[in-house]
Amino acid sequence: MTMPAGAVADRLRLMLAEVTGRPEFASVPDETALLHGGVGLDSLAGTLLLRRIQREFGVDVAAEDMNLDALETLATLAAFVAERAGTVS
Amino acid sequence: MIKCVVWDIDNTLLDGVFLESPDQPPPPDAGLLAAARELSDRGILQALASRNPPEAARYVQQATGLQFAAAELGWDSKADAVGRIAASLDIAADAIAFVDDDMLERAEVAAALPDVLVLTPEDAVQAPDWPDFSPPVLTQEGRRRGEMYQARLRRQAEAASFGGSREEFLRHVGTRISIAAARPQDVPRLHELSVRTHQLNSGGAALSEDDLSALLLAGGHQVVTVALADNFGDDGLVGGVIIERNGPGPWRVPVVMVSCRALGRGVLDALLAWMCRAAAASGASSLAVPCLVNARNVPMRLALTTAGLRADQGELSADGRTVFSRSLDGPLPALPAFVSVPGGPA
């Protein structure tokens, strides 16, 4: 069973606010870039986000996505996680 | 190799029980204090985990003169306390030793964190003689490690109350990143970085001091160091890269290593941006960084992809690492004004 991407995106927004310490990120739009401009995750905040995603959704983004393209925008990350969450791989 | 020793206080680091004599708390245990000082001088961090009020940590710090990188005082589980210390210092459980006189506490930590080395106080007195507590090299940076972790706690407190972007924060705290050609006196520290760094390491083999000295003299290579400081403290040399220069052809970077202390402080991003710009300026067409892909160095891979490098599917280096590369046409990553580079502004 997969999860709705919208629900995953909402959860990811809260995680973004937590790992960056920027509460305003809890309401960024879906098309916000995560690495360049936009949220501007650095390697520390990015790693914390990936660890939380793994803990909460059981999806190891770094292991499945060599170039971390999933981190392009909030929407691409939510879709990537939603597709894999709750499935046994 | 042990990077941090977590000490219990009562009947361990102190020769008695803190709360039993509030007017005159017990003195440090002489044998353990000598061991802790010796380990601290070797660059091994010291931390406290104790069922005591926070005053106990202040008393122990003052009575021992030790700089504690972390202190967990309270009444919840010791295993949780040790886990929080490991997370806050970003040190893996297998690089932590835990010392407690209480058998039940030792058993609880050993059960919950099987990778932690659990010791009785009697064992810990001997620890300085053991190989796991004897780092092969001891550098200026290594000796000052405890002090730097204290600066880190103050920096984190400042970051928690700062609202702006990461780069704005780095400017706000007066970050200074200096990229420079390596000198012969940097060799011991570069060796230490090659042995100790994992999260921000592209996965090359450890480099001996002889290897590094030879590379400094050999033509065809460029060995570069990066130093880091801000208003909270001077971290000294925190990273190094080795660049193979093939004239105007592609630049290949077999070694990238940065201390985890520099995580989140713009160092790796600055190094990668400088390499892109310096390679482009010398007429190179591309920059390639072979990188081991594993769970530990995800921060390294994030920095590579942020700097526009991508893994060519299936392309492996001679030692089996995945090759991340980028063309140097078009826009290059920006270098913040707080970064100084060899030969002046890039």
Residue B129 CA to residue A25 CA, distance in Å, equals 50
Both tokens assigned to B155 = 């920096």
The pLDDT value given to residue B172: 94
Which of B101, B90, B14, B100 minimizes the C-alpha distance to B58?
Answer: B14
Q: What is B4-133's CATH number?
A: 3.40.50.1000
Cβ B10 vs Cβ B100: under 8 Å: no
Domains and CATH numbers, chain A: 5-84 (1.10.1200.10)
B293 chain-A contacts, CB cut-off 8 A: 66
Q: What is residue A89's predicted lDDT score, i.e. its pLDDT?
A: 45
Whether residue A67 and residue B162 make contact (CB cut-off 8 A), yes or no, is no
pLDDT for B80 equals 94
Chain A partners of B200 at a C-beta cutoff of 8 Å?
43
Give the pLDDT of chain B (346 residues) as one tens digit per residue.
899 999 999 999 999 999 998 789 999 999 999 999 999 988 899 999 999 999 999 999 999 999 899 999 998 899 999 999 998 888 889 999 999 999 999 999 999 999 999 999 999 999 999 989 988 777 888 888 888 888 888 898 888 888 888 889 999 999 999 999 999 999 999 999 998 888 889 987 889 999 999 999 887 889 999 999 999 999 999 999 999 976 677 899 999 999 988 988 999 999 999 999 999 998 899 999 999 998 888 999 999 999 999 998 777 888 889 999 999 998 999 999 999 998 764 4
The encoded tokens of residue B200 equal 């921000």
Residue A67 has its nearest CB partner, among B159, B199, B311, at B311
Domain map (residue ranges) of chain B? 4-133, 165-340
Our CA-based measurement puts residue B321 at a distance from the nearest CA of chain A, in whole angstroms, of: 12
Residue A44, chain B, CB below 8 Å: the answer is: yes
Best residue in A24, A44, A55 for a mutation probing chain B (most B CBs within 10 Å): A44
What SS3 class is residue B89?
helix
B165-340: same fold as B4-133?
A: no
Q: Which CATH number fits domain B165-340: 3.40.50.1950, 3.40.630.30, 3.40.50.970, 3.40.50.2300?
A: 3.40.630.30
**Chain A residue with minimum CA distance to B300:** A43
Chain A partners of B199 at a C-beta cutoff of 8 Å? 47
Using the predicted structure, report yes or no on whether residue A86 has a pLDDT greater than 80.
no
Chain A interface disruption, residue of B298, B316, B323, most A CBs within 10 A = B298
Residue B343's pLDDT is 76
Q: Tell me what pLDDT residue A87 has.
A: 60
